[in-house]
Structure 1
Amino acid sequence: MSSNLDPDARNSYRLLTVAARLVQRRQDDALAPLGLTRAAVIALEGLAAGPLNQEQLAALIHVQSQTLGRVLIRLEGTGHITRTRQAADRRQFKVELTEAGKAALAAARSAEVDAYPSDGDVSWKVLREELAKFVSSIPAPRPDAAVVPFPLPEHRGDGRGTTLHGVDDERE
């Protein structure tokens, strides 16, 4: 059986995969000295605009609540977040950044920026726009496995916005 896929598309897919692995490796290397993972930084970013409950945060960053729970336990243990049981619904926790969490997020943002190449020949805006179109065109195999761009600030739903512009990563 032969593929009808354009050879340029196939080569672009391979290049995209290599680029993603290289960026992830650079991010991991930049965050390791801070004791953070990409998943932890994504959770911290989701809380940057203010507290949310765990389900709201999971929906915002496109991960399962149970997966997020493991990340939040680690972040709480390191003092980066607090989780407070809600009086109205004892099953729910209000999750918010601590001062240490805000400092860790600022350090992570700086470390990640320093990890990215600063090539003046790359049009980052065009690349971001094209990647967003590409990601949006890929159907998810099942709803809970969706890998989608984080919402732009105006799409957060509660009006507080967010600065997330990546894709989720549940690995620790």
Structure 2
Amino acid sequence: MNPQSRSGTEPDPTSEDPRQWPTGRLLFTVTRRIEHDWNAHLAAWDLNHAGHPALLHLLGGPLTQREIAARNEVTEQTMSRVLARLERSGYVTREDDPRDRRRRAVTITDLGRRVALEAARLRPAEDLTSRGLDEHQVETLRELLVAMVRAQRSDDSPAQRSDGETL
């Protein structure tokens, strides 16, 4: 329910009461807490919220840095730093791309595969993201988030994306 419809007034973004915050502030606050907790979880494998999704994408086979960057919705420069860290940890290798000599193919190593799957186990991830919610609330939250992801994807077009890629 929108805070405006309950009280008939604008929400107070300076209030300490989260019920008065705009939806964007609520999402940002929860997202930052989850990101912090998730990074603490991933630190056991020398990973973070940027490197882990890159490893997950590579489980399907080698990709170029550009492809991984597009799938993670970051710039190639950002992904270059992420991949350098993963390479130092022994989780990926970069070699000449046989499809295009100007590019480098990124491949997950056996160690990277084990780490990616271990770090992605469902239970810890769900516990980190659903703290304070009962099963019904988690199910409702998941439905809402899926709807939001789908809506954002349908709104994306190559003209709107800075890298020209579609999801």
TM-score (norm 1): 0.68
Structure 2 equivalent of residue 131 of structure 1:
145
Structure 2 equivalent of residue 43 of structure 1:
54
Q: Distance in 2 between matches of 1:96 and 1:88?
A: 14
Q: In the alignment, residue 61 of structure 2 is paired with which amino acid?
A: G
Identity %: 30
Contact 1:31 1:112 in 2 (8 A): no
Q: What is the deviation of 1:89?
A: 2.6
Q: In the alignment, residue 56 of structure 1 is paired with which amino acid?
A: E
Q: Distance in 2 between matches of 1:6 and 1:101?
A: 49
Point out the structure with max Rg over C-alpha: 2
Q: Distance in 1 between matches of 2:106 and 2:148?
A: 33
Structure 2 equivalent of residue 30 of structure 1:
41
Q: What is the deviation of 1:41?
A: 0.2
**Equivalent residues, number:** 144
The residue correspondences of 1:9-88 to structure 2 (distance < 5 A) are 11-88=22-99
Q: In the alignment, residue 32 of structure 1 is paired with which amino acid?
A: A
Q: Which runs of 5+ in 1 are unaligned?
A: 152-172
Q: Distance in 1 between matches of 2:94 and 2:30?
A: 36
The residue correspondences of 1:97-116 to structure 2 (distance < 5 A) are 97-110=108-121, 111-116=124-129
1:120 equivalent among 134, 137, 148: 134
TM-score (norm 2): 0.69
Stretch of structure 1 that moved more, 85-94 or 116-125: 116-125
- Larger RCO (alpha carbons 8 Å, 6+ apart): 1
What is the aligned-residue RMSD (CA, Å)?
Answer: 3.3
2:162 equivalent among 128, 137, 144: 144
Q: What's the secondary structure of 2:162's corresponding residue? A: helix
Q: What is the deviation of 1:51?
A: 1.2
Q: What is the deviation of 1:71?
A: 0.7
Q: Distance in 1 between matches of 2:142 and 2:63?
A: 28
Q: Which runs of 5+ in 2 are unaligned?
A: 1-8, 12-18
Q: What is the deviation of 1:78?
A: 1.0
Q: Distance in 2 between matches of 1:52 and 1:98?
A: 13
